[in-house]
Structure 1
Amino acid sequence: MFASTRSTVRRRALAAAGTAAALALTLAACGSSDDSAMPGMRHGNTPTATSGSAMSGMPGMDHASDGNGLADAQDGYRLTSSDSTLAAGRQTTYRFAVTGPDGRPVTGFALDQTKRMHFYAIRSDLTGFQHIHPTMASNGTWTAGLSSLASGRWRMFASFTPDSGSGRGRDFVLSRTVTVPGPADRTRLPAAADSTAVDGYTVTVAGKPMAGMAQPLTVRITKDGKPVTDLQPYLDTYAHLTAFHEGDAAFAHLHPTTKVDGDHGGPDLSFHAELPTAGNWRLFLQFQTGGKLHTAALTLRVG
């Protein structure tokens, strides 16, 4: 009996040692991988299950994401496009499609802030921001009309919510990169600040977001030192706020919480802010007065 017990204990000890060794080898392999040369990749991100390393060298493809929009695929949905380069210095178009888990183009999308697709273009240095609402053909191909692009590397984001299938009711943000040929001078990100000016308006942000924590953020809009109270609804709200992280262009949409009540919004607007990563984020606030859309940009430091 005692011999049998000692034998059992020995077998369990050997099994535990084998498991520990296997785990150590796995961790060592993960720690030795070098993805620093792969565009759009951030150390510590969790790869999407649908992304394959065999495709990592293809232009416009990025295969790591932790919900920040830096992947072209998530949970069976994929952003596809044959456009890997776009012309510089003139208006151009970017064509893309979203395929579902069955591999077919998705054609049914739910409304999100009055639109079925929100499309964003941002240069790697976080300049040249464009927020577009593309049009979709009956075969599921979307066309986004872009203003003039400066030479460099750009990331194209598609934000959408399927209205059927396994992803029904879920918010997705997928992206691909494109190259705009020509000499590319990198613009240094402006220093973090609480306020900025655009079209005669002053936009001031109050709040100190912490990485990974949901916190309120308040935006105040004034003109000539006086509170602005004639904001008009834009996309079913008084302001649309998007943020991109310095270094990798990770995406975040800050959701408005201010109730819309006619054409007299302002001066204070509230947002639900949850920025996942510390560092500098470039904020783009879009608001409308007198039928004109204004876009204010400032750098926010997240601790």
Structure 2
Amino acid sequence: MISSSRPVARRRAFAAIGVAAALALPLAACGSSGDTSSMPGMDHGSKPSAASSSSASPSMSDMPGMDHMASGSGLSDSQDGYRLAPKDTAPLSGNQAAYRFTVTGPDGKPVTDFTVDQTKRMHFYAIRADLTGFQHVHPTMAADGTWSANLSSLAPGSWRMFASFTPNTGTGKGKDLVLSRTATVPGDFAKTPLPAPATVTQVDGYTVTVKGEPTAGMAHPMTVSVAKEGKPVTDLEPYLDTYAHLTGFHEGDAAFAHLHPTTKVTGGHGGPALTFHAELPTSGNWRLFLQFQTGGKLHTAALTLRVG
């Protein structure tokens, strides 16, 4: 996984944890860029894996029909009477043009009124089960409440689709919700393990360094610095009303976490240091995706974080 009509620091229902001192963050050297907030090319091999753990078996949250039984950080398709419902019954394809869905409320009707958060009414994420594929897009909504999330090419394997939103009316008004469902793209694939944790990674000529010492069940301030050719970068442009957007997914079940930015946007140029409020409640490996913009171009760096 960073001004709007709502505070930048979102509070997820699944993470209620307090702040501690600075930490040293492991990262993995892998990243890419794009002109949109999607991230094609995040496959670490030519044939990425469908499994995200060291085991060959998929997690229960990746099995068809298990959405209602899944629990944890955004791993259910329903919460507080709200439900994520896909509109299309046909299987996904590698050239999927759009993932269409509705969010129904406690009354069973599609919700059409959402609060703007970080300049958008809906944030949509697609993540492969092995965390080697990632896209972050902003769907458009039709008058009947049908959302269309335009996705780039999807590699074969199991994917989890996340919808992050806040209802502006009804019983859920003001509640930050993250719902998800699984989908499978048919085709051949091979398992690809996550890169080993490190403290520095590079993307598009930029060097990203993270410091910290994460602990499960506690929140920590996290510092990310950006440099280019050995010099601190100070021309970061606002992206979604922040200087960087940071999202994390847990290895094994793809549990979702949005790491809240605490660096205020004060103008058109930010950097080199950025701070985040890291909320990672579960131990293990987390795959983080840092998105930042320079010269009108979006860069996305992938980070592997080990949480003890």
Question: Structure 2-normalised TM-score?
Answer: 0.79
Determine which of 200, 204, 208 is the counterpart of 2:209: 204
Question: Is the CA contact 2:59–2:253 (under 8 Å) kept in the aligned structure 1?
Answer: no
Residue 63 (structure 1) shift: 2.5
Look up the match of 2:124. 119
Match of 2:135 in 1: 130
Paired residue for 1:110?
115
User: SS state of the match for residue 226, structure 2?
Assistant: strand
TM superposition shift of 1:150: 0.4
Aligned pair in 2 of structure 1 residues 263, 183: CA closer, same or farther (>3 Å)?
A: same
Deviation track 1:117-163 (CA, whole Å, cap 9, x = no partner) reads 00000000001100000000000000001000000000000000001
Asked if structure 2 preserves the Cα contact closer than 8 Å seen for 1:63 and 1:72, the reply is no
SS for the counterpart of 2:302 is strand
Distance 1:38 1:227, change over 3 A: closer
Separation in 1 of the partners of 2:232 and 2:58?
48
Hey, what does 2:147 align to over in structure 1? 142
Matched letter for residue 99 of structure 1 = T
Q: Is the 8 A contact 1:39 1:62 kept in 2?
A: no
Structure 1 residue 65 displacement after superposition: 1.9
Q: Which residue of 1 aligns with 2:71?
A: 65
Q: Distance in 1 between matches of 2:180 and 2:172?
A: 17
Q: Is the 8 A contact 1:79 1:176 kept in 2?
A: yes
Following TM superposition, by how much is the alpha carbon of 1:228 offset from its aligned partner in structure 2, in angstroms? 0.2
**Deviation of the 1:194 alpha carbon:** 1.2
Count the aligned residue pairs: 251
CA–CA distance in structure 2, aligned partners of residues 133 and 263 of structure 1: 22
The CA deviation at 1:62 is 4.0
Report deviation, 1:103: 0.4
CA-based RMSD of the aligned residues comes to 1.6
Aligned match for 2:93, one of 87, 90, 104: 87
Q: Establish whether residue 40 from structure 1 lines up as the match of residue 61 from structure 2.
A: yes
Partner of 1:189: 194
User: Higher Cα Rg: structure 1 or 2?
Assistant: 1
d(CA) in 2 for partners of 1:166, 1:91: 34
Give me the TM-score of the superposition, normalised by structure 1. 0.80
Q: Out of 176, 190, 205, which is 2:181 matched to?
A: 176
Aligned equivalents of 2:258, 2:216: Cα separation in 1: 14
Identity over aligned pairs, percent = 72
In the TM superposition, structure 1's runs of 4+ consecutive aligned residues that sit over 3 Å from their partners are none
SS in 2 for 1:40: helix
- CA–CA distance in structure 1, aligned partners of residues 184 and 58 of structure 2: 16
- Work out whether residues 59 and 252 of structure 2, in 8 Å CA contact, stay in contact via their aligned partners in 1: no
Change (3 A) 1:295 1:168: same
User: What stretches of structure 2 of length at least 5 have no aligned partner?
Assistant: 1-56
**Judging changes above 3 Å, is the alpha-carbon distance between structure 1 residues 86 and 57 closer, same or farther for their aligned structure 2 residues?**
closer
Checking the alignment, whether the CA contact within 8 Å between 2:87 and 2:102 is kept in structure 1 is no
Alignment check: 8 A CA contact 1:194 1:300 kept? no
**Pick from 222, 231, 236: which aligns with 1:231?**
236
Determine which structure has greater relative contact order: mean sequence separation of CA pairs < 8 Å that are 6+ residues apart, divided by chain length.
Answer: 2
1:301 aligned to 288, 302, 306, which one? 306
Q: Which structure: greater helix fraction? A: 1
Q: What residue identity is the alignment partner of 2:265?
A: V
